[in-house]
Amino acid sequence: MPGHHDTVATPEASDFKFVLCDLQILWMGKPDPVIYKVALQMLQLPKEKVIAIGDSLQHDIQGACNAGVDSIFISGGIHAKDIAATNGEVDEQRMLQLFQQHKVEPTYTMPFLRI
């Protein structure tokens, strides 16, 4: 309804959609720290008890850094071709260069996430 300005957070894929009821829609997603703030509130946990896991330096890892949350970079994801050596293993030097290029440093790295 016009004039009503409540903000509603709804989980949608990997980010949240904030709808302002005056018909203005504002999309917020990683790397904006507000997404992590909302997630921490939903989990009712302090950031020291949470770790963000992702394969995108620009979105996942930068978002975690922006929010002050520890992170695990999955090197076998979207950046795998950028950091793979000829034998398919991660080239540490290329990975560190990629971190410098994106101006981020994950807390930890691992090749894949398997459950």
* pLDDT tens column, 27-75: 677 888 888 888 999 999 999 999 999 999 999 999 999 999 999 999 9
Tell me if 10 sits within 8 A of 38, measured CB to CB. no
Tell me if 101 sits within 8 A of 68, measured CB to CB. no
Exposure of 54 in the CB half-sphere (CA atoms within 13 A): 21
Average pLDDT over residues 91-104: 95
Residue 46: predicted pLDDT: 95
How far apart, in whole angstroms, are the C-alpha atoms of residue 76 and residue 62?
Answer: 17
Residue 20 confidence (pLDDT) above 70: no
User: Who contacts 17 (Cβ-Cβ below 8 Å, separation ≥6)?
Assistant: 9, 10, 25, 27, 28
Residue 77 confidence (pLDDT) above 80: yes
Return mean pLDDT, the chain: 82
Least confident of 1-15, 17-31, 76-90, 95-109: 1-15
